[in-house]
Structure 1
Amino acid sequence: MKKNAFFTLALAGLVAGLMGCSPAGTPEREVQLELRIMQTNDLHAYMLGYDYFQQQDTDRFGLAHTAALVHQARLEQPNSLLFDNGDTIQGSALGDWAHAQGLEYLEGQSHPVIRAMNYLGYNAAALGNHEFNYGLAYLDATIAGATFPFLSANVMQPDAADDDWQATRFTPYVIQTHSFVADDLQRYDLKVGVLGLVPPAIMRWDRDHLKGQVQARDMVAAARHFVPKMRAKGAELVVVIAHTGIRDYGDYPEGAEQAALYLAQVEGVDAILLGHQHRLLPGPDYQDIAGVDAERGLIHGVPAVMGGQYGNHLGLIDLTLQRSEGQWQVVANHAELRPVGPQRDELMVALLQEEQQQTLAMLNQALGTTDGAIENFFARVAPNSAVAWVNQAQSWYARQLQQNGELPDLPVISAAAPFRSGFGGPEDYTHLAAGPLTLGNIADLYIYPNTLRVIELTGAQLRDWLEMSARTFNTIEADQDNWQQLLAPRIPSYNFDMMNEVSYRIDLSQPARFNGQGEQVSDSHRIVDLRYQGQPVQPEQRFLLATNNYRVSGGGFFPHAGSAPLHYSGQMEVRQIIAAYTREQAAAHPDAIPVRFEQNWQLQLPSAARVEFRSSGLDAAQTKAEQHPRVRFLGLDDEGYGRFRYLPELQP
């Protein structure tokens, strides 16, 4: 709906009133109401338009910049509501700082993210999966400071019976009465029902925090139960805030993570607000899914928006409601995304300045000095210093546990994956130049608040783990005439684990052994020549694997992760372990910590294959390619990413 539609309709109503009654026999014109629904999603505690990795201001994201769009949108359409989709309090250094202050901090004042949202005047929000990362006590204390409701209809009390939908752990929905001006210049009360949903996989991802405390149910089942109830209680418009994305499963599996395609088919839903996948709707990301009109932002005819991440877009759904016989019906809709720009809300910036300064002070605590760069430009195709630093830290800590008698005397292997690997754009890579290493750099290396786990695997299970990682690659054919893409689409970098202490090759002429759910789909092996200390790994050999709680709780569906014997389950974050390891290395190397890592794995391709992948377009990445024996820079693509060739054979 164009921004002047409200005023045009209002003027039309006024003129009609001045002209008097309709001619005899002409039915009275039905009243229309324009309503704007606004959404933010996946803010991840990015409030001020600040890049904590580069430690500089940015106008590419941040709620202070989104807020400028909110103010403008409200000026265009006073009949408006503002919602948030979740994953709000975790993800940035500001969120880390707030959590580090503990529950005592929240007893005296509201969480800085909640304070900013209160200021902006949100009407409601849904809980996202990352809201549960810090445990229920912290979550309860955080949302207690909100002046608006946080909703989640499918998180239940632990003892709730299967058919009991009354025992929700959080508020499942609200029905809010809002007074809006229609085109006849009269005010009307509209009862808006708002339902919140979160992926039930939180029970895997945060099992340590949630086991025995809550249970989570299927999102579609929850919507089918609560939407009719909301309608029966008088809701004239139903908005579903679902922290989920879009995927066509064919036959919908109960407990699905991406449920929007099926939520849109629940009768009585008028609009869906989405997130979790950090993608864009309307936009190019969902063009090939049946039932989705990606250009118009419709899912089975229901308007829907998803606005990227970190507040880089404001989602808008404009609805036209028509009143007939005392009932409101949606008769038109328009969905759009608005990207942020240089404008920002300076009052919000001032509101959080004290917390921002303390966050930066925390980040700039020096841990030591390195003699080389720690980067992950080519972490998807070759060993690299960034993931190696994490693996070295995890192995170091596990061996300390061994020395203290807390772990059995078995070989220690560590598994870690690259995090900042281009998802957020062509500059979204870890690149720490030689020199001082700070706590802020550790957050760059490891962006999640995961904790360490140590499990026991056999040699055969260790190989399966690497086979699951190897599905990140396409199967490569011996084709010298056509370029082939090395990396399979839609597989996040954080599901590509690489290990230290063992050596192996990944034969990409073979199909993947496992699918995305960890199910064996072929008898092939991509992992070949797996060795420990130079000797072939035997299937029955036993190892300790240092990994994280996300992986052991089922994140990524790695085979044997949840069933393997668990020897260590601590509450110390991996980032804290990396910081402790860095301090230990600084003490041992006061001049400069040596940045060294094993070239312990490599890709094996057919000799005639022409293969490319994309990575950062930064000059530093191009320079790194010049130094790598199997990588060649080809140029930049339309999005600013670098295009690189991966050579089948090592080059002199």
Structure 2
Amino acid sequence: MIILFLGKGGECTVQLRLLETSDIHIFLANYDYYQTKEDNKVGLVKTATLIKQARDEVRNSMLFDNGDHLQGNPMDDYLAKVKGLKEGEVHPVYRLFNILGYDAITLGNHEFNYGLDFLNKALKGAKMPVVNANIYQAEAIDGKNNPYFQPYVIFKKEVVDEQGKKLTINVGVIGFVPPQIIDWDKANLEGKVIVQSIVESAHKWVPIMKKNGVDVIVALAHTGISAAAPYQPGMENAAYYLTEIEGIDAILTGHQHNTFPGPVYRNLPNVNMKKGTINGKPVVMPGSFASHLGVIDLQLQKRKGKWQVVDSRSSLWPIADEKGNSLVETDRALMKTILPDHEATIGYVNKPVGETSAPIFSYFSLVKDDPSVQILNNAQTEYLVEVLKDPAYSKYAGIPILSAAAPFKAGGRGGPNYYTDIPKGTLAIKNVADLYVYPNTLQAVLVNGAQLKEWLEMSAGQFNQIIPDDAGEQQLINPNFRFYNFDVIDGVEYYIDVTKPAKYDVNGNVLNSDTSRIVNLTFQGKPVLLEQMFIVGTNNYRAASTTFPGVKESKIIVKFPDENRQILMNYLQKKKIINPSADQNWSIAKFKGSTSSQTIVFDSSPKAQNYVSRFKDIRYIGPSSGGFAKYSINLTE
């Protein structure tokens, strides 16, 4: 796609194209390691073809990555924990970045999942600057906390103007990451770094960059776009508010795995979807897994001795159409570069760990107690029961042990194919990674009954409020709620009353203080008392949360070194053969409907049709938007 701007006669005009990848999550090959088959909807080897095309169209371009590139599929586990990185060896992500000639990169929250030692070792192989302006060394020197990474970089970019004249423009590039990494990866970061608020950090560094002669500032912001609530320091998704900062000229964003320009953000104030701007500033977010190349075209003019952005246009270049058909060729040379690691990963994920007597799928995990989540909770519970027998934990003896787990692949921003679907038969490492996507570790928290209920109330925000007397279709699932926050707590029984409003919004803020969606919460057939104590096994991300209701008031009592994924693998190896079935400890409460024309609907994959006949109360309706399919569920008595 060629976008041309026409400058006014006599003015010095330069067209500069900014190219972005973000949230690649180590999807370098066009391959699905969970299904062990080619997948042309993902892969940097595909996006590389678009990068070449985008560069060839213009005289001046720069290429950036916005983070979350080291973690996300079984290749990262193989590299970090099985093969390892030898001294002097270049990580395959940076191997490809080097070949493609990235100008600069920033870091996402998942770069820290394997600890600072692994990250720093991997970064030695990156030939481009790595910028981040809001992470600081925890240890103060002379009363000052120094940046852990290079906050920004200034490129003396040689460009060619519209008349063919060579000029130099000082392009400043700055990076940001959500400050929540200090909670999400507390075990890896506590005592080593501190993390400041994104917007406050921008206000600090942008004037310094300007003072040092920067003409244009590009923000590599690994943070999402949100304007649903007033700005708060330390917020996770702050890209909208970066557009309000004088001096920042373009924002390359990500983290949310969405696309901008795109319909998700069409109702935000001061958004021009046609031009891809927010508050007049160009913004782009290229989805995830290398599915898109983000492109911002800037028109720069020198006025009164200073370069100014006088026009811009943001766009997205996909590697596949909505049906998954490839739109570009694979870069075979790049694929050859990573082939040894790619083939070794395939060998790794195909190693058997057990057997399942029935299929395991997550197509209906947001509306039913689901075997894919049940298996995780079973494994965590069995592990906790055994470990807590140790005399070192005798003070917790007699306290009931529960387990919390969420569906990690349930569509949403991952698309209509982002579900677990494991056939009957052999279970391999790839299936374990499919059930538990992240390299989290297990932690145990101590909660009382009141906190346990608030934990579940937050999870119940997954659902929209259903009005029993309304006719027509009503959407059950809240699209803004992340399914990995839909914790199912096993060991207690409860119902979720979706006819009542949610107590919390998607960020854990109170919406309706006097509501209660969680009803009939019981333990071993008796109502859970407010002061009753429980031990809950969960992952380190959840346990360390300072925003998740119920959890943020809890107390972490044990931090285990074992990964949740390894615990699951050990469980499967011990059981040898599992019969995947959910214990139905939770369900959506039925209600009396006064109209026969009411239809409660939700989206899932078209592939869910293969299993829908197993459920008496669910039926397929037809295609939905974005490649999803629409299903109905009967919730009336």
Per the TM superposition, whether the score is higher than 0.5 is yes
1:115 aligned counterpart, secondary structure: helix
Task: Give the counterpart letter for 2:489 in structure 1.
Answer: M
User: Which residue among 456, 459, 478 is the counterpart of 1:469?
Assistant: 459
Q: How does 1:502-517 map to 2 (within 5 A)?
A: 502-517=492-507
User: Which residue among 246, 254, 266 is the counterpart of 1:287?
Assistant: 266
2:182 aligned counterpart, secondary structure: helix
Asked if the contact 1:321/1:329 (under 8 Å) is kept, the reply is yes
**Cα deviation code 1:194-253 (max 9, x no counterpart):** 011111111111111111111111111111111111111111111111111211154310
| Aligned residue in 1 for 2:589 | 604
Partners of 1:126 and 1:35 in 2: how far apart?
Answer: 20
TM-superposed CA distance for 1:349, in Å, is 0.2
TM-superposed CA distance for 1:549, in Å, is 0.5
Partners of 1:189 and 1:602 in 2: how far apart?
Answer: 63
- Residue 407 (structure 2) pairs with residue 422 (structure 1): no
2:158 aligned counterpart, secondary structure: strand
Q: How does 1:198-237 map to 2 (within 5 A)?
A: 198-237=177-216
Q: How does 1:100-111 map to 2 (within 5 A)?
A: 100-101=81-82, 105-111=85-91
User: Which residue among 52, 67, 90 is the counterpart of 1:86?
Assistant: 67
Asked if the contact 1:274/1:305 (under 8 Å) is kept, the reply is yes
Deviates more, 1:146-155 or 1:55-64: 55-64
Partners of 1:626 and 1:162 in 2: how far apart?
Answer: 68
Q: How does 1:572-587 map to 2 (within 5 A)?
A: 572-586=562-576
- Residue 527 (structure 2) pairs with residue 536 (structure 1): yes
| Aligned residue in 2 for 1:331 | 310
- Residue 615 (structure 2) pairs with residue 625 (structure 1): no
- Residue 45 (structure 2) pairs with residue 64 (structure 1): yes
Asked if the contact 1:459/1:542 (under 8 Å) is kept, the reply is yes
User: Which residue among 340, 355, 367 is the counterpart of 1:381?
Assistant: 367
2:264 aligned counterpart, secondary structure: coil
Asked if the contact 2:453/2:550 (under 8 Å) is kept, the reply is no
- Residue 354 (structure 2) pairs with residue 356 (structure 1): no
| Aligned residue in 2 for 1:314 | 293
| Aligned residue in 2 for 1:446 | 436
- Residue 106 (structure 2) pairs with residue 126 (structure 1): yes
Asked if the contact 2:402/2:489 (under 8 Å) is kept, the reply is yes
| Aligned residue in 1 for 2:11 | 30
User: Which residue among 152, 159, 167 is the counterpart of 1:188?
Assistant: 167
**Cα deviation code 1:145-189 (max 9, x no counterpart):** 10001111011121459995x711110000011212222222112
Asked if the contact 1:261/1:291 (under 8 Å) is kept, the reply is no
| Aligned residue in 2 for 1:641 | 628
User: Which residue among 610, 613, 619 is the counterpart of 2:601?
Assistant: 613
Normalization by structure 2: what TM-score?
A: 0.94
| Structure 2 spans left out of the alignment, 5+ residues | 320-326
2:87 aligned counterpart, secondary structure: helix
Partners of 2:303 and 2:578 in 1: how far apart?
Answer: 74
2:382 aligned counterpart, secondary structure: helix
| Aligned residue in 2 for 1:138 | 118
Partners of 1:507 and 1:220 in 2: how far apart?
Answer: 39
Partners of 1:480 and 1:513 in 2: how far apart?
Answer: 22
Q: How many corresponding residue pairs?
A: 622
Task: Give the counterpart letter for 2:37 in structure 1.
Answer: Q
Structure-2 change in CA distance of 1:355 and 1:518 (3 Å): same
TM-superposed CA distance for 1:459, in Å, is 2.1
| Structure 1 spans left out of the alignment, 5+ residues | 10-26, 587-591
Partners of 1:81 and 1:182 in 2: how far apart?
Answer: 15
**Cα deviation code 1:89-119 (max 9, x no counterpart):** 11111122111147x6242301111111111
Deviates more, 1:348-357 or 1:46-55: 46-55
Deviates more, 1:123-132 or 1:453-462: 453-462
1:127 aligned counterpart, secondary structure: coil
Q: Considering only CA atoms, is the larger Rg found in Structure 1 or Structure 2?
A: 1
- Residue 551 (structure 2) pairs with residue 551 (structure 1): no
- Residue 290 (structure 2) pairs with residue 303 (structure 1): no
Q: How does 1:252-271 map to 2 (within 5 A)?
A: 252-271=231-250
Identical residues among aligned pairs (%): 38
TM-superposed CA distance for 1:377, in Å, is 1.1
Partners of 1:405 and 1:510 in 2: how far apart?
Answer: 45
Partners of 1:153 and 1:338 in 2: how far apart?
Answer: 29
Asked if the contact 1:296/1:334 (under 8 Å) is kept, the reply is yes
Asked if the contact 2:416/2:628 (under 8 Å) is kept, the reply is yes
Partners of 1:491 and 1:348 in 2: how far apart?
Answer: 37
1:150 aligned counterpart, secondary structure: coil
User: Which residue among 36, 49, 53 is the counterpart of 2:34?
Assistant: 53
Normalization by structure 1: what TM-score?
A: 0.91
1:108 aligned counterpart, secondary structure: coil
Task: Give the counterpart letter for 1:604 in structure 2.
Answer: A
Task: Give the counterpart letter for 1:594 in structure 2.
Answer: N
TM-superposed CA distance for 1:28, in Å, is 8.7
- Residue 382 (structure 2) pairs with residue 396 (structure 1): yes
| Aligned residue in 2 for 1:155 | 135
- Residue 104 (structure 2) pairs with residue 115 (structure 1): no
Asked if the contact 2:49/2:328 (under 8 Å) is kept, the reply is no
Task: Give the counterpart letter for 2:411 in structure 1.
Answer: G
Partners of 1:303 and 1:533 in 2: how far apart?
Answer: 56
Q: Which runs of 4 or more aligned residues in structure 1 lie more than 6 Å from their structure 2 counterparts after TM superposition?
A: none
Asked if the contact 1:284/1:295 (under 8 Å) is kept, the reply is no
Asked if the contact 2:88/2:125 (under 8 Å) is kept, the reply is no
TM-superposed CA distance for 1:558, in Å, is 2.4
- Residue 261 (structure 2) pairs with residue 275 (structure 1): no
User: Which residue among 54, 58, 65 is the counterpart of 1:77?
Assistant: 58
1:456 aligned counterpart, secondary structure: strand
